[in-house]
Amino acid sequence: MTINWTALYVFTGLFGFITILGFLAARWRQGDLSQLHEWGLGGRRFGTIITWFLLGGDLYTAYTFIAVPALVFSAGAMGFFAVPYTVLVYPMVFVIFPRLWAVAHRHGYVTAADFVKGRYGYRPLALAIAATGMLATMPYIALQLVGMEVVIGAMGVHGHLPIIIAFIILAAFTYTSGLRAPAMIAVVKDLLIYITVIAAVIIIPAKLGGYGAIFASVAPEKLTLTPPAEGSLGGYSAYATLALGSALALFLYPHSMTGVLSASSGHVIRRNAALLPAYSFVLGLIALLGYMALAAGVSAKPEFAEGFKMYGANFSVPALFLDQFPSWFVGVAFAAVGIGALVPAAIMSIAVANLFTRNVYKEFIAPNCSAEAESSMAKIVSLVAKVGALVFVLNLEQRLAIQLQLLGGIWIIQTLPAIFFGLYTRWFDPRALLIGWAAGIGTGTWMAWSLGFKTSTWPLTIFGVTMPGYAALYTVILNLVISAVLTLVFRAISTATHHDATVEADYR
C-alpha cells in the first residue's frame, strides 16, 4: 500500500493539536498534582459535560470503532449485541454508582479495592479486587494501540515507529497532567467521532444507493440471528447473555470506575446515566458500517487486499473510508480513531497506577509513604503499564492481546459480588467472597482455555437443552452462589468478625 500523504498530513496535524492540549491540561482546573486524588481523579471536580465526554471517550474506544463493525462485517447480526448492552448498563449506573461515589468521596477512596477494604475489612479480598482490575486492564490498553496501528497502516505507514512515537506522547502528557489530559482531549475526540459517523451514515448510503440497497446486498444469514437447532438456544442465548454479561462487566473495569469517581457529585453521575445513551445511538450507526463495507465490496478490491491480509476484518472500516471519502476526510476519520485510542489508553494506565499504588504499594510495601511519594509512584506505574501494552503490540501477536482481553471480561466480572452487593449489604462474608471470586476466575479461565481462546461463548447444557452463553455471565453466577452458600457456612462455624469502616449514612 502506498502512503496516502494527504490523509497522513491531516492525521498528523490533528494528533499534534491534541498533544499540545494534553500538556496544557496540567494547568486546567489547576490542582496539586503531587496528590493522588488530583493526579489520578482530577480532584473529583468534573461536572456533567466534562464527565460525559470523559466517560464517552473512556468507554467508546478506538478498538470499539474498529472491532464492532468488523464483527458485523464478518459475523453479521451477532455484532449488534454491543448496542443493547450499552443500553442496559446505564440504568445500573444511575442506581448503583452514585452510592459508590458518595462513600468514596466521604472516605477518600480512589479505587474500587479501597472501597472493598473499607467495607469488608479484609485485605486479601481487596488485593484480589486490585489484582483483577490490573490484569484485566493491561490487554485493554494494548488493544487501543492495535486499533491505532490499523488506521496508521491503512494510510500506508508500516512499521512500529509511529506507534512508539504515539506511546511516548501518551506517556509524557499522562505523566505531567494526569486524568486532566484525557478529559480535555476527550472533548476533541468525541466531536471528531460524531462528525465522522454523521458524515458516514449520510454520504456512504447515498453513494451506495440508500439503506435499502445496502441491506439487499448483504447475505440474508448476516441480517438476522441464525435460528437455533432443536435442543439448543443457539445464537439467541449467546446474544442475550453477551449483552447482559457485558453490561454487568463494563463499569467494573478500573478505567470506568476512575471516570465515575472523578465526577463532582452523585447528581453528575445520574445526569450522565441519562445522557450517555446518546453514545449507544452512535454505536448502532458505527455497527452499520460493517454492512456498508459488505455492500461496497471492499474486501474484493485489489487495492485493499494487502490490508485485509495484514489486519483481517479489522481493516473493513478503514478500507470503507478509503474507498468512499476524499483523502483529507480520511485523515479526519483516522485521527478520530487514533485520538480515540489515546484517551482510553491514558485513563486505563492511570487506573492501573491508582490500583497498584493505593492497594499494593501503600498497603503492603510502604504503608507510611507520604502523599507526594504515593503520587510519584502512581506516575511511574502509569509509564510501566504503557510499556507493557507496547510490548504486546511490538513483540507479540495481536491475537494474544485479543485472547487476554477475552479473559479480561471474564475476570473483571468476578469483582461484581464484592462491589455491587457491598454497596447495599454487609451480609456476605469476605472469606466467602474471596473463595467465590477464585472459583469464578478459575472456571472462567478454564472455559476460555478449553475453547482455545477463540470465543467467549460457552455451550452450557441443562436438562438436555444447550444454551450457548457468555462465559463471564455463567461464571459470575457460580461465583455468587458459592459466596452465598459459604457465607452461611462461615456464619455457622466461625465467630470471626471483620470491621466495616463505613456506615449507612456514607452511601447517601
* Residues whose CB falls within 8 Å of the CB of residue 288, separated by 6 or more in sequence, listed in order: 69, 72, 201
The pLDDT of residue 401 is 58
Cell of 204: 456512504
Give the pLDDT score at 385: 86
Residue 280 CA to residue 59 CA, distance in Å, equals 11
- Is 418 within a domain? yes
Domain range for 179 is 31-507
Handedness of CA 498, 502, 503, 508 (dihedral sign): negative
Q: What is the pLDDT of residue 120?
A: 96
Asked if the structure places residue 292 within a domain, the reply is yes
In tens digits, the chain (508 residues) has pLDDT values of: 688 999 999 999 998 898 888 888 877 767 777 888 889 888 888 999 999 888 887 777 777 788 889 889 988 888 888 888 888 899 999 999 999 999 999 999 999 999 999 999 999 999 999 999 999 988 888 778 778 888 888 898 877 777 788 878 888 888 888 888 888 898 888 889 889 999 999 999 999 999 999 999 999 889 888 888 888 888 889 899 989 998 999 899 999 999 999 999 999 999 999 998 888 888 888 999 999 999 999 999 998 888 888 888 889 999 999 999 999 999 999 999 888 888 888 899 999 999 999 999 999 999 999 989 999 999 999 988 888 877 776 766 665 556 667 788 899 999 999 999 999 999 999 999 999 999 999 999 999 999 888 888 899 988 889 999 999 999 999 999 999 999 999 999 987 788 899 999 999 8
Burial of 12 (0-12, 13-18, 19+ CB in 10 A): middle
Q: Return the SS3 of 218.
A: coil
Q: Is residue 19 part of a domain?
A: no
Q: Determine whether 326 is exposed, middle or buried from the number of CB atoms within 10 Å of its CB (0-12, 13-18, 19+).
A: exposed
Q: Which three cell numbers stand for residue 379?
A: 506516575
Q: What is the CATH number of the domain that holds 72?
A: 1.20.1730.10
Residue 54 falls within a domain, yes or no?
yes
Which residues have C-beta within 8 Å of that of residue 291, sequence separation ≥ 6?
72, 73, 214, 215, 218, 222
Whose cell is 473463595? That residue is: 435
pTM: predicted TM-score of the whole model, two decimal places: 0.92
Overall domain count for the chain: 1
CB 83 within 8 A of CB 280: yes
CA-CA-CA-CA torsion sign (437, 440, 446, 452): negative
Length of the chain: 508
Residue 277: per-residue pLDDT:
87
Q: What pLDDT, on a 0 to 100 scale, did the predictor assign at position 463?
A: 85
On whether residue 26 sits in a domain, the answer given is: no
Q: Note whether residue 395 is domain-resident.
A: yes
**Which SS3 state, helix, strand or coil, does residue 380 take?**
helix
On whether residue 115 sits in a domain, the answer given is yes
> Is-contact 93 291, C-beta < 8 A?
no
Spatial contact of 221 and 455, defined as CB atoms under 8 Å apart: no
**pLDDT the model gives residue 397:** 60
Neighbour-count burial of 394, counting CB atoms closer than 10 A to its CB (0-12 exposed, 13-18 middle, 19+ buried): middle
Q: Is residue 24 in a domain? A: no
